[in-house]
């Protein structure tokens, strides 16, 4: 009887350690994603002279980008092997948009998935 209680307690302890380790890995993954996103959006390097203002995708490998280089704004055509300057833009011609990212509501997503599952079961 004593042997089963010890193994049960060890199992509970291992489960708790595993859950804590999983949460630790999740936190590390979240922090890594935040840091990588900061590098990609140039947020950590505000002293840079080159900033991408906007990107419009035309096809798989063709884009139009509005880029700020120093104090000048340029419209660029970006293709697979070529970059072409389309025109120089004035600052008054640029509609700067503030990035507004809505927080993700996981509860509503889970509720939606549960409702879809219930509909499929019926």
Note the pLDDT tens digit of each residue in 46-94. Answer: 667 888 888 999 998 999 999 999 889 999 999 989 999 999 998 888 8
The CA distance from 25 to 91, in Å, is 44
Residue 63 burial by Cβ neighbours in a 10 Å radius (0-12, 13-18, 19+): middle
**pLDDT range class, residue 27, cuts 50, 70, 90:** very high
The CA distance from 52 to 66, in Å, is 6
The CA distance from 19 to 26, in Å, is 11
What's the confidence (pLDDT) of residue 50? Answer: 85
């Amino acid at each position: 009887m004593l042997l089963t209680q010890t193994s049960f307690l060890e199992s509970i302890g291992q489960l708790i350690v595993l859950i804590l380790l999983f949460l630790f890995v999740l936190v590390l993954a979240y922090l890594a994603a935040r840091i990588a996103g900061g590098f990609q959006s140039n947020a950590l390097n505000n002293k840079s002279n080159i900033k991408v203002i906007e990107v419009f995708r035309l096809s798989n490998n063709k884009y139009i980008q509005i880029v700020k280089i120093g104090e000048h704004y340029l419209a660029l055509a970006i293709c697979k092997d070529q970059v072409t300057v389309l025109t120089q833009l004035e600052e008054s011609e640029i509609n700067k948009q503030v990035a507004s990212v809505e927080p993700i509501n996981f509860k509503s997503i889970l509720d939606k998935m549960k409702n879809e599952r219930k509909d499929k079961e019926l």
